[in-house]
Amino acid sequence: MIKTAVACALLVFAASSAPAETRPAVAVIPFQALGVSAAEAHGLALLFETELVKTGRFTVIEQSRMDAVLTAQEVSLSDCSDQVCAVEIGKLLAAEQIVLGAAGKIGQRYYLTVKLIDVENGASLSSENEQRSSLDEILDDLGSLAARLSAWDAAPPEMAYLDGGTHGMWDLRQRTDHPPVESQEEFVAWMLQHSPEEEKYLRAKWSRAQVTLQWKDIRNGRVLEAFLRTPRQEFARTRNVEVVYQHMVLDIGHGQTISGPHLVARMTDYLNPEPEDKVLEIGTGSGYQSAVLSELSNHVYTIEIVPELAAETDAIYRSLYARYPEYQNITGKADDGYYGWQEYAPFDRIIVTCGIDHIPPELLKQLKVNGVMLIPVGPPSGQTILKITKTLDAAGNVLLEREDIYGGRVKEVFAPFAARGGGVHSQPSDAAGASP
């Protein structure tokens, strides 16, 4: 995820099986959160440390002792905000378990997320408070967050992690629970037990899903489930149930919009990634499209050119980790997506969510053979959404098969493909006569 989106805390402690007098202690690194002052964050960390001690499972390692150990090893905590780094710090301190914590502010709402990680096997458990209107309200949640962590003594069965993963990703291949899709009442009842969503959103989402099926925006059962699992209201920057699932574009600030549910459903259905496919999204925006894709693929990469929007959306993902662990499989950055993401290339699937008058050559290079790209191509007045399939002929030459996902019936207007430094990307003048 984008490292600037939210600062993290590192807490290190050992399991509670040892007698109290010999129990390894918890070491709390004061954390800062997006939109929270250093003084407020430091106070929040100290109070959380107190709540951990109150559970009876943890004792505190003094800051001076921890600093001495890390200084001797020439280790700095200033850049340590991911799970791999935290585990290494835990080993240096001879801790059996660690906690990564993240505090953030989304709009006018605050949240706190903490993750307990076993140093030996990498198993983890996330816990968080509901979004609150003030830091004072978050203080009331600290005790319950600490209690949830103190009750954990093994990797929870519903949490699964990728072999060799670097930050404890959740593995879709081990999911065994699936919502019923034959009846609205059965679906709502199941989701109320298995998700944090409110009934009003579940019913609105179900109704919209039925229309996507009628219009053949969704034809694949896995895509239908992904649509039904994803809480659009968390990304739409509005929680108005009358608006969130309407067939309309919504403003999300920063000059950007969230596409309507039918468009997201159709593009996802044509992309249709498998769990081990690597997917690149150009234009993170609200985060909704990548959230849907994370229900289908363990490897979602997304690029947003507006840094403030990238940070805002990343904070939303982080605030939802405990309830939607699959969002940990989304890796993002703020950059110009025209050039793709060479570090993680090649990709099995690429989806572009901004309009352009040609297909960026670098994206084609980073698309695997037999890979699929979805991209809106055309003038600013309206684009054709093309499904591009990259293949090779018998002589090894690259072939591009094009398909209009609406069969010529519909053109959509996307936000323009913005360029780094201002302006938009357009077809080079020496290629103006070429077919897109």
Residues taking part in catalysis: 259
Neighbouring C-beta atoms of residue 371, cutoff 10 Å: 20
- Residue that has been written with the tokens 């301190």 in this structure: 93
Which two structure tokens, joined as six digits, stand for 120?
Answer: 């030996």
- Which DSSP letter does residue 387 get? E
User: CA-CA distances (angstroms) from residue 342 to 204, 219, 339, 363, 387?
Assistant: 39, 32, 8, 9, 21
Neighbouring C-beta atoms of residue 213, cutoff 10 Å: 15
Neighbouring C-beta atoms of residue 407, cutoff 10 Å: 7
CA distance 184 to 207: 8
- Sequence-distant (≥ 6) Cβ neighbours of residue 318 within 8 angstroms: 1, 5, 6, 102, 104, 113
Residue type for position 78: S
Neighbouring C-beta atoms of residue 430, cutoff 10 Å: 7
Q: Strand, helix or coil at 391?
A: strand
CA distance 226 to 178: 10
CA distance 277 to 297: 6
- Compute the CA torsion angle 174, 176, 179, 181 (nearest 10 deg): 100
With residue 267 as reference, give the H or E element that holds it: helix 261-271
Crossing angle of helices 199-214 and 261-271, in 10° steps, is 60
